[in-house]
Amino acid sequence: MAENERNITLPPPNFDSDYSIERALLNRRSVRRYSASALTLEELAQLLWACQGISKVENWQLGNKDMQTNYRTAPSAGALYPLEVYAMVNRVEGMEPGLYHYLPGPGTDKHSLEMVHTEDRSDDLADAALRQTFVTEAAANIVIGGVVGRMAVKYGRRARLYVVLEVGHAAQNLCLQAQSLNIGAVPIGAFVDEDVRRLIGEEVEPFYIITVGKIG
């Protein structure tokens, strides 16, 4: 799957399964104990797509200008899409541990990860999350961050609220997808903002960490 050293083309997501949305809603629970098994790249790709992948590409015209909207799996106020998703990988088949940035496009079936670095910083993430040690035991930690400024252009003082609401949509998508794949997940809100921000990069504000791993 590796395209070059910095970019990993992800397997295309599945758009169908035998696991109903109702079963996922009924059975989803926060899981904090994980087996030592790695996630497959397909599983990680599916989780990321559920969180923030492209679900529809619409071409339209603004006057004589060609425009395109890439709708995502989670709703976004004004379709402004302020979220940035990172995967801090501990154990995913075919991947070096490290930090990766999710690139949802260019289409519903084409998405990728760009490598930020290949240092194992999961212990620092656990420190930032007030020593919730399952962070280091998980196969990966998905950090959902946002750029409030992208929303503020249109929504001014309501921008931060809208970003936080959108993070909730994306997080729930991920948790339900994890449930349907029999992958354990827990959303983590207890962390020191500045410490997580330092780990993912200064431009993006971290709002949520979702720890994922095979159920032990």
List interacting residues with ligand FMN (CB under 6 A). 29-30, 32, 132, 186-190
CA distance 147 to 160: 9
In DSSP terms, 9 is beta-bridged to 112
Residue nearest ligand FMN (C-beta atom): 189
Comparison of 131 and 158: residue with beta carbon closer to ligand FMN: 131
Q: Return the residue matching tokens 């799957």.
A: 1
Alpha helices of 141-192 — where are they, by DSSP H? 148-155, 159-180
Minimum CB separation of residue 106 from ligand FMN in Å reads: 32
Minimum CB separation of residue 109 from ligand FMN in Å reads: 31
Comparison of 134 and 155: residue with beta carbon closer to ligand FMN: 134
Comparison of 20 and 30: residue with beta carbon closer to ligand FMN: 30
Comparison of 176 and 186: residue with beta carbon closer to ligand FMN: 186
Kindly report the number of other CB atoms within 10 A of residue 132's CB atom.
Answer: 19
CA distance 78 to 210: 25
Comparison of 115 and 139: residue with beta carbon closer to ligand FMN: 139
**By three-state DSSP, how is residue 112 classified?**
strand
Comparison of 75 and 189: residue with beta carbon closer to ligand FMN: 189
What is the secondary structure of 189-214 as a DSSP string?
--S-HHHHHHHH-TTSEEEEEEEEEE
Alpha helices of 63-147 — where are they, by DSSP H? 122-128, 134-137
Which residue type sits at 89? Answer: V
Backbone angles phi, psi at 215, to 5 degrees: -75, 130
